[in-house]
A and B are shown apart, each in its own frame.
Chain A
Amino acid sequence: MTAFALPFEKIGKKDHARVGGKCASLGEMTQAGVAVPTGFAVTTDAYLAMLDETGLRAKIEAQLASTKFDDVVSLDRSAQAIQIRFRSHKLPAQVETVIRDYYNAMGDALPVAVRSSATAEDLPDASFAGQQDTYLWVVGADTVIEHVRDCWASLFTARAMKYRHDNNLGQIEVLMSVAVQKMVNAKTAGVAMTLDPLTGDRTRIVIDASYGLGELVVSGIVTPDNFTVEKVLMEVIDRKISDKHIELVPDVVAATTVEREVEAARRDVPCLTDAQVIDVAKLAKALERQNKCPQDVEWAFDADLPEGENLVALQSRPETVWSQKPAEPIKTSFSTGMMGMVGALNNPVGSKK
C-alpha cells in the first residue's frame, strides 16, 4: 500500500525501506519510548510519485545518460540541471495535501526541521552524512513543502552523484525520504558516541556538547566541551572544557536560525552539569543496546520542556569507523587456571609501563 507520509510512531519494521535510515531510526526510537521530538516521514512513495507523475524520471535519466562522471565539469553541469528540474516541478497534488495535513496536525505554525533521510545513508558502510540537506526552523506548510522538494533535489549534488557512482549504488535507484520533525529549542546539544572515536574503546562514551543547536558541533564550527564517561560504571572520567564562542539559536521573527556570539561568562564554563552528562550517556547507552551496535547519537536539551524530560534524541545511527574494523585479537590464547595465575604473578599488570 502506498503511503506518502508516516508519523514516527507508526513506522514499523516493514516500512524501513521507504522512510530511509534517519526516519527509521526516529521511528524505532519513538516506539522504544525514547524521547524524540514528534514528526513524520515523507516516504519514498512520495518521492516516486514526484518522479513518475511529473515526468521528472525521464528527464533525469536523459541527463544521467549524457553525464561523464569522471569529468568534473560535466558532472557539475548535470547536477545543476537535475536540481533545477526538481525545483521547476510542483509536487503531485496528493503528496502536497498529505504533507500539509500532517504538518497542520502537529500544531499551529509549528517550527520544524526538514531533513533528508536517504535510503542508502546511515548504513554502516555508506556514511555520507551531511551531503543531503537539513533545513532548520521551518514554519508554514508551504515552506515545508518547498524544503521537502529541496531535500529530494539534494540527492543530486555533484558530490552525492559521484559517491554513488564510485560505490555502484545506482543514481535514480537511490530513493529519498524526508523527515519533518518538531524543532527543538536547544539550550545545549551535541553528539554522543558509544565508543571512544580515537581508540575504538567500547568501554567509553564520548560526548561533544555546546550551546544552542547541535549543527555547529556536527559541522565543527565550534569547539565543543568534550566529556568521557565510563560506560559500565556510568562515571564521568574526563572533561575538556573549550571556549564555545558561538551558538546557533532560533530567530523567531525571521523564522530561521542565527549564529550568535556567546557572552563571555558562559563561554569557557562547562555547558553541561555532570548529571546532564550522565543523562546523555544513559540515553546513548540505551540506544546502543536497542540497536545492538555502537551508536552515534545526536541529542539536545530542550529549553521548552520541563527539567527531567528535556533531553531528547534527534538521531541515532550506527557508528561507522570502528564498527568496520575487525576486532583486533588482543591475545591469541588465554592462559587459564594455574598457568594464568603464574603468568599474572610473573608479569603483574602494574609493572607494565
Chain B
Amino acid sequence: MDATTPMFPSAYDLKAPAGAEGWEDLYPYYLKFQPALREKEDQKFWFCDSQHWPNPFKPFDAMTVEFAVKCLGQYNTRHYLVPPANGVDYRIHNGYVYMSPIGVSPEKIEARIPQFMERAGHYFQNWPTLLENWHKKVKANIDEMEAIEFEKLPEVVPVDWVKDGVGLDNTTALTENYDRMIQLIYRTWQYHFEFLNLGYAAYLDFFGFMKEQFPTIPDQAIAKMVQGHDSDLFRPDDELKKLARLAVELGVADALKDGSVDDALAAAGDQEGGAKWIAAWEAAKDPWFNYTTGNGFYSTDQYWNENLHIPMGYLRDYIVRVQAGETIERPMEALHAERDRIASEYQEMMSPEAAEAFQGKLGLARTVYPYVEDHNFYIEHWSMGVFWKKMRALSKLLHEEGFWPTEDGMFYLDRNEVRDVIFDYGNAWATGGDWAGPTYWPAEIERRRGIIDALATQAPQPALNNPPEVITEPFTIMLWGITSDSIKNWIGGDDDSGDMVGMAASPGTVEGIARVIRSPEKLGEIQQGEILVAPVTAPSWAPVFGKIQATVTDIGGMMSHAAIVCREYGLPAVTGTGSASSKIKTGDRIRVDGNTGKVTILS
C-alpha cells in the first residue's frame, strides 16, 4: 500500500448521490464531518455501523443513533472508567453512521484501574440485585410511556378546568408529554448500557483466557459455553410455538389457517376449546408481541402487536409443522447438556490451576451473559415498540390536523423541530390565528423524502481513512466484530475465486440456494431449505430460521444477532463478510462453511 493513499476514502471525498444534495441539514450539526476539521477527522479511522443502521434514516430516527451511541460512551468514560476505552465517536455521512472508538492515552490507563475496580466491581458483586432493580426501572419507563396519550386540542378548554381554577390549557399536556416521551426514551437508552458494557467485558475476559489456553479454539465454542438457551429474546418465538401446539391440541388449528387475523380469530373462537386458545393468544401478546421485525432503531419498524398478520403468519407455519408431526420446540434440556459437555471437555484438557481460573471466569461470564441477550427484548423490542407507537400516534394526530399529507410525516423532522411544531400547533390555537406548519411542512417534507430516498440508492463505505496497526478497543472487537483481520477481508474481498471470508459464527457446512433479503418485509419470499443472505439480520427473524438452512451476513461479529440466533437454532452462520449480500444473487448455489467462515458461490 502506498503510504500516501489511504486504505479507505475520506468522508470529505464521498459525495452524496444525485438528488441527495443538502442532506446535511437533516441531521444535527455536531454529527457531521465539518469542513474546518478535515485534517483532524481524516487522521481517524471510522467504520460504518451498518449492523444497527443498515439504511439511511430519517431525521427523527437519528435520535436512536444519538441516544444509543452517547449512552454506550457514558458508561465507559464516566461511570466505570473502563481503563483503555472511552466511548465511540460518531458521525453521520450520506445517511449512514460512521464510528471511531476513542481510546484512553496510555499514561492515563493505570490511574483508571482502581476506579474501574471499585465501580465495575460493585456491579459484578451485586449483579442479581442490581439487575432486578434494572428490570423495575425499565418497566416503570414502559408503563409511563404506555400511559401517555396525545390528544387533539379541543375547541375550548373544558369548563371544569375553568371552574376548578386549573389555570392551564390543553397544550400543556401536549408539550409536556412530548418532552416526557423523549426524556423517558433517553433514560431507557442509558439503562440499555448500564449492564451491557460490563457483560461484554466479562465475556471478553473469558474469551481471552480460552484463546490463551487453546489458541485454535473456535470462537463459537467459547460462545456456546456461555450462551443461555432460555433467553427472553427467544420467548416471542417460543410463545408462537406453544400457541401452535395448543391450537392443534384443542382442535382449533384448522380454523386458524386462512383469512385475515380477525377472521381466523373469530373462526377459532367459534370452536369448542376456542375460548381457551384465544385466552392463551391474548396472554402471549402482553408483553411478548412487543416484538419488531426490524431492530428497533427505525420509526418504520413493524411490531407484532400492531401487525398481527406477522405473528399469525409464523403461527400458521408452525401449525403446519406440528400437524406434520414435527417437533418445533427447541430441545432445551439437550441444549443445556451440550453446553455443559463442551465446558467440561475443555476443562479436562487444562491444568488444575487453569481449570480453577476457568471455573471462575466461566461462572462470571454465565452470570452476566444472559443480559447481553435479554436486554434486547426489553429495550429494542418492548420499550422502543411503545415509544414508536406513541410517536406514530402523534404524527398521525398532526397529519389529521393538516401539518403533513401522510401519517408518517413527523419522522422527516428532527426531534427538536417536532417540539417547534407542537408549539406552532398550540400557539395558533391559543391566538386564534393560523398554524404555519400546514403551509411550511408538506413541501419541506417532500424535499426531505426525496433526499432520504436518494441517499438510500448508495451503499455506505465499510470504513473511512486508514485503520490503526491493530484494533485494540475491546468493544469494537466484541460488539462489531472489527479486528485487524476483518478489515483485511473488506479490502481483499475482491478476489476472483468467488470465495468470501467472514466470521465462523455458528458451526456446520451446507450447500444450497441463496435468498438475498434486504428488508424484513421480504422475509415472506424465503422458501424452505434456502440460505438466507442479508446485510444484517434481527433476532425477530427467528421464526424464518425454521425454514432456512444457513445464514450469511455482511455485518456483525460473534455476538451479533444473526450469530446468536443461528447458534440457538443450530444453523451454520458466517457473519461479517463485508459484501456477501451484494456479491451473491438470489438463486445462486452457495456453500456456507460455518466452521471456517468461508462462503463460496458454486454456480
Contact = CB atoms under 8 A, between A and B. Distances in A.
B310 interface: no
A233 B201 contact: no
A342 B116 contact: yes
Nearest to B224: A233
A338 to B, nearest CB: 5
Interface stretch (B169-177, B230-238, B341-349): B341-349
A276 to B, nearest CB: 14
B205 interface: yes
16 contacts: A202-B349, A230-B218, A231-B345, A233-B342, A330-B213, A331-B212, A334-B356, A342-B83, A344-B204, A345-B85, A345-B474, A346-B84, A347-B472, A350-B483, A351-B477, A351-B483
A237 interface: yes
Interface stretch (B117-125, B158-166, B245-253, B527-535): B117-125
A336 B357 contact: yes
A348 B204 contact: yes
A238 B357 CA distance: 30
B214 interface: yes
A350 B483 CA distance: 6
B485 interface: yes
SS of A interface (majority): mixed
B212 A330 contact: yes
B447 to A, nearest CB: 44
B297 to A, nearest CB: 26
Interface in A187-215: 201-204
Contact of B472 (A233, A327, A348): A348
A353 interface: yes
B209 interface: yes
B470 to A, nearest CB: 5
Given A232-B345, A349-B211, 10 more contacts: A233-B218, A235-B507, A330-B212, A340-B361, A344-B209, A345-B82, A345-B474, A349-B204, A349-B212, A353-B470
Interface string B413-455: 0000000000000000000000000000000000000000000
Contact of B485 (A201, A230, A353): A353
B20 to A, nearest CB: 35
B208 interface: yes
A353 B484 contact: yes
Contact of A336 (B218, B361, B473): B361
A274 B509 contact: yes
B345 A350 contact: no
A230 B477 contact: no
A342 B117 contact: yes
Given A201-B216, A203-B217, A348 B113 contact: no
Nearest to B220: A233
Contacts of A204: 216
Nearest to A327: B351
Contacts of B84: 345-346
In the A-B complex, list the 4 residue pairs whose CB atoms are closest, starting with the nearest.
Answer: A334-B357, A344-B205, A350-B477, A350-B483
Given A327-B351, A344-B208, A348-B474, A338 B117 contact: yes
A200 B220 CA distance: 22
Interface in A220-263: 230-233, 235-238
A288 B356 CA distance: 23
Interface in B81-129: 82-85, 109, 113, 116-117, 120-121, 124
Contacts of B349: 202-203
B595 A235 contact: yes
Nearest to A348: B474
B393 to A, nearest CB: 43
A159 B129 CA distance: 72
B256 interface: no
Interface in B463-501: 470-474, 477-478, 483-485
Contacts of B345: 231-232
A201 B213 CA distance: 10
A339 B508 CA distance: 36
B353 interface: yes
A337 B360 contact: yes
B121 to A, nearest CB: 5
Nearest to A199: B216
Interface of A: 201-204, 230-233, 235-238, 274, 327, 329-331, 333-334, 336-351, 353
A8 B271 CA distance: 66
A340 B209 contact: yes
Q: Which of A331, A336, A339, A348 has the most CB atoms of chain B within a 10 A radius of its CB?
A: A348
Interface in B571-603: 595-596
A348 B477 CA distance: 8
A238 B597 CA distance: 12
A341 B472 CA distance: 15
A201 B43 CA distance: 42
A145 B558 CA distance: 62
A192 B597 CA distance: 25
Contacts of A235: 218, 507-508, 595
B202 interface: yes
B474 to A, nearest CB: 4
A232 B205 contact: no
A353 B220 CA distance: 19
Nearest to A340: B205
Contacts of B211: 349
A327 B452 CA distance: 61
A334 B116 contact: no
Contacts of B477: 348-351
Interface string B60-96: 0000000000000000000000111100000000000
Contacts of B356: 334
B507 A344 contact: no
B354 interface: yes
A6 to B, nearest CB: 33
Nearest to A332: B353
Contacts of A331: 212, 354
A338 B124 contact: yes
A263 B516 CA distance: 41
A348 B470 CA distance: 11
Nearest to B203: A344
B117 A344 contact: no
Interface in B180-207: 201-202, 204-205, 207
B221 interface: yes
B346 A232 contact: yes
Interface string B538-568: 0000000000000000000000000000000
A353 B472 CA distance: 11
Contacts of B212: 330-331, 349
Contact of B218 (A237, A343, A350, A351): A237
A349 B472 CA distance: 8
A68 B482 CA distance: 68
Given A233-B220, A348-B472, A203 B214 contact: yes
B389 to A, nearest CB: 38
Contact of A230 (B205, B207, B360, B595): B595
B220 A345 contact: no
Contacts of A330: 212-213, 351, 354
B120 A233 contact: no
A248 B297 CA distance: 64
A341 B81 CA distance: 13
A11 B208 CA distance: 47
Contacts of A236: 509, 595
B201 A336 contact: no
A349 B83 contact: no
Nearest to B202: A341
A331 B356 CA distance: 14
Contact of B596 (A237, A341, A351): A237
A230 B221 contact: yes
Contacts of B354: 330-331, 334
A197 B269 CA distance: 66
B507 A336 contact: no
Nearest to B205: A344
A98 B511 CA distance: 56
B115 to A, nearest CB: 11
B263 to A, nearest CB: 47
